[in-house]
Chains A and B, each alone.
Chain A
């Protein structure tokens, strides 16, 4: 799980162009949206692309994203439960 979380940090930083954020600065349990990383609506859509591209998971209803992307940890747990790769 920890390895996946570290991998996700790198992927998120790259996919969302968070150039000024260092992996060690991301707390896996902090909210991704709102405070924490302060991601926005386009980032939310990009995370859906990320899941499909890197993990083969297709999210049919973007509204599910709210729970899946609550934090890095919830995202990793979802991938562990649903991922193909």
Chain B
């Protein structure tokens, strides 16, 4: 059995999973209208508080030798190492890092960082983490668009199933950057207000920055936090278009269909990708209905955090685990009235419920999709 274990979230809502979950229950949003250094225009984004980061990282020496993403990742992984007590130098321990753009801020013309520009290379960035924690193995870096975080968790399970490893630390992270904001803006994909996943008036995404880490393990003693295992997980490609999802949700349907769901009434909810673009949410609703899961409540956490790219799959899985542990359905923030044609039931308020499993889905540019099923022991 493969267990979801200790974890950490660093986001605009706090530097620990606890802080983040409490904030969510309080309906706090990480997304807000913000003026960013590179523009006079305000963007609705979820930013991590710089002063807080400085404070948290202040105990480290030579802070200027680390990029923002490196500082956040070190803090996040360190929290998980501390909670779990596992030894990073162990033969059977691996780090998988999920990111779409890594240290992309190093590409900026005016980047004043003292960091070697070589750290633009994702393997070089991961090597900083390897050196810092003294991981025995070279970290595996996964860069597969917005499914990276969830796929990294699925890959972690596969590696442990194979016997190659016992403990896999999965860390996912991406920072806010002019690079990414300008790109999504050129796609006309941004919303200037907090985003509204699945809502009839949704217009687009908010971008958010976050780093999130979870330990995946076959060690029963480390299953303590959630007593929850990963039952199954898959990825699949739509084979339709490089930026638009399949109108019939083919890839996501293929993933959901393979999960091996025997009794959908036991599934508490689906933590959807729910980016709040017109196309993504529509596609997901169709895939969910095709997979005969219309009766399973759906939420998206992107109304709170925005789209955190490489961190999304990890962050949203962790909060879903918290939801499962606390037997509480998390309200899909931003949702008012259904604006998709697939028959789905969106969670519109916090609700105590008895359930023992959940599904996490993700989709991304390049036509990729992923889904995983988590269940209490």
Q: Does A85 contact B (CB under 8 A)?
A: no
Determine the residue in chain B with the shortest Cβ distance to A46. Answer: B186
Q: Is A49 engaged at the interface, CB distance under 8 Å to the other chain?
A: yes
A33 to chain B, nearest CB (A): 13
Q: Cβ of B242: which chain A residues have Cβ within 8 Å of it?
A: 42
B188 within 8 A of A: yes
Q: How far is the CA of A49 from the CA of B243 in the complex (A)?
A: 17
C-beta contact mask, B227-269 vs A, less than 8 Å → 1, else 0? 0000000000000011110000000000000000000000000
B187, CB-defined interface residue at 8 Å = yes
Query: In the complex, are the beta carbons of B188 and A45 less than 8 A apart?
Result: yes
Q: Which residue of B lies closest to A63 (CB)?
A: B188
B192 → chain A, closest Cβ, in Å?
13
Tell yes or no: A17 within 8 A of B by CB. Answer: no
Q: Out of A40, A41, A45, which one reaches B186, CB within 8 Å?
A: A45
State whether the Cβ of A10 lies closer than 8 Å to any Cβ in chain B: no
Size category of the binding interface on chain A: under 10
A36 contacts B by Cβ under 8 Å: no
A49 nearest in chain B by CB position: B186
**Does A62 lie at the interface of the complex (its beta carbon under 8 Å from any beta carbon of B)?**
yes
Give every chain A residue within 8 A of B244 (Cβ-Cβ).
40-41
> Is A62 within 8 A of B241, CB to CB?
no
Main DSSP-derived SS at the B contact region: loop
**Which A residue's beta carbon lies closest to that of B187?**
A45
- A44 and chain B: residue at smallest CB distance: B188
* CB-defined contacts of A62 to chain B, threshold 8 Å: 188
Please, how many angstroms separate the alpha-carbon atoms of A70 and B188 in the complex? 19
Chain A 44-71, CB-CB to B under 8 Å as 1, else 0, gives 0100010000000000001000000000
User: Please, how many angstroms separate the alpha-carbon atoms of A13 and B241 in the complex?
Assistant: 20
Could you tell me the distance in whole angstroms from the C-beta of B184 to the nearest C-beta in chain A? 11
Q: Are B243 and A42 in contact (CB under 8 A)?
A: yes
CB distance from B186 to the nearest CB of A (A): 7
Q: Which of B186, B187, B188, B241 has the most CB atoms of chain A within a 10 A radius of its CB? A: B188
Residue on B nearest A62 in the bound complex, by CB = B188
Query: Within the complex, which residue of A41, A45, A49 is in contact with B241, where a contact is CB–CB below 8 Å?
Result: A41
- A84 to B15, alpha carbons, bound, how many Å? 51
Residues of chain B lying within 8 A (CB to CB) of residue A40: 241, 244
Q: In the bound complex, what is the Cα–Cα distance between A42 and B243 (angstroms)?
A: 8
CB contacts (< 8 Å) of B188 on chain A: these are 45, 62
CB-defined contacts of A45 to chain B, threshold 8 Å: 186-188
Q: Which residues of B contact A42 (CB under 8 A)?
A: 242-243
Q: A41 CA to B245 CA in the complex, in Å?
A: 11
CA of A41 to CA of B243, assembled, Å: 9
**Residues of chain B lying within 8 A (CB to CB) of residue A41:** 241, 243-244
Q: Which residue of A lies closest to B186 (CB)?
A: A45
A63 to chain B, nearest CB (A): 10
**B187: A residues at CB distance < 8 A:** 45
B170 CB to nearest A CB, Å: 32
A42 vs B254: C-alpha distance in the bound complex, in angstroms? Answer: 26
Docked CA distance A73–B364 (Å): 35
Closest Cβ of chain B to A14, distance in Å, is: 18
The distance in angstroms between the C-alpha atoms of A41 and B241, with both chains bound, is: 10
CB distance from B215 to the nearest CB of A (A): 39
Chain B min CB distance to A39 (Å): 12
CA distance A62 to B187 in the complex (A): 10
How far is it, in angstroms, between the C-alpha of A77 and the C-alpha of B186 when the chains are bound? 24
Give 9 new A-B contacts, CB below 8 A, not counting A41-B244, A49-B186: A40-B241, A40-B244, A41-B241, A41-B243, A42-B242, A42-B243, A45-B186, A45-B188, A62-B188
Q: Can you report 7 residue pairs joining A to B where beta carbons are below 8 Å apart?
A: A40-B241, A41-B241, A41-B244, A45-B187, A45-B188, A49-B186, A62-B188
